[in-house]
Structure 1
Amino acid sequence: MAEQKHTAGAFDVRTFIAALIGLFGVILVLAGLFGPDRTADSVTDGSAVNLWVGVGLLLVAGLLQGWAMLRPTVVDEPPASAQGSGSEPGV
């Protein structure tokens, strides 16, 4: 009997990491757009650091999710006899 194969799908670790990076990116973009006045910030010389880092994080999240979709992780299914048909000794 041939082994059945399927992809990890939503359970791929790259999907979780891309979602978290994307969430942080959205938060930083919103903070960059609607945050406090940037002209008073002497450390960054008035540049929109939150906005640019947020955009960068969104790009990285998109690339990571694209990678997960283009090259999915293939999971091998165990044979049907090893999946616990209820006839295991000692159960």
Structure 2
Amino acid sequence: MSDYEYQHEVEELERKSATAARLFDIRRIIGALFVIYGVIVTIAGLTVSDTDLDKAEGVNINLWTGLGMLGLGVFFLVWLWLRPTPPPVDTEQLPPEADKGTE
């Protein structure tokens, strides 16, 4: 294997690794789960019966909890969109820093 082919293969693996790191960012997972569960709990809150409301002393806890979960999930997804995960920096390819003491 030539040096060029080896370097090309290494770059391809680094690109796939960076893509996987961004795909499995914890903010994406948490945000998606909170949005999914928030939708489910909000629907349960919208379809509540009068008997269940009487048990909770008139507070529709499923509706409020579902809306809170939706809000938190959207917050995480917006945070991910505004501040995406930076690609990893390869320290071997950085230019050497000049010695500040010699100037």
Deviations 1:15-73 (A, max 9, x none): 111010111101110000113333431xx211111001100110111111110111111
Structure 1 position 54 matched with structure 2 position 66: yes
Higher relative contact order, structure no. (Cα contacts within 8 Å, ≥ 6 residues apart): 1
Unaligned runs of 5+ in 2: 1-10, 92-103
Q: Could you tell me the TM-score, scaled by structure 2's length?
A: 0.60
Unaligned runs of 5+ in 1: 80-91
Q: Could you tell me the TM-score, scaled by structure 1's length?
A: 0.67
Between 17-26 and 5-14, the greater mean CA deviation after superposition = 5-14
Whichever structure has more strand as a proportion of its residues is 1
The Cα of 1:77 is off from its aligned counterpart by 6.4
RMSD value over aligned CA atoms?
2.7
Give the Cα separation in 2 of the matches to 1:19 and 1:11. Answer: 11
Whichever structure has more helix as a proportion of its residues is 2
Show the 5 A alignment for 1:10-89. Answer: 10-37=23-50, 38-41=52-55, 44-76=56-88
- Structure ID, larger Rg: 2
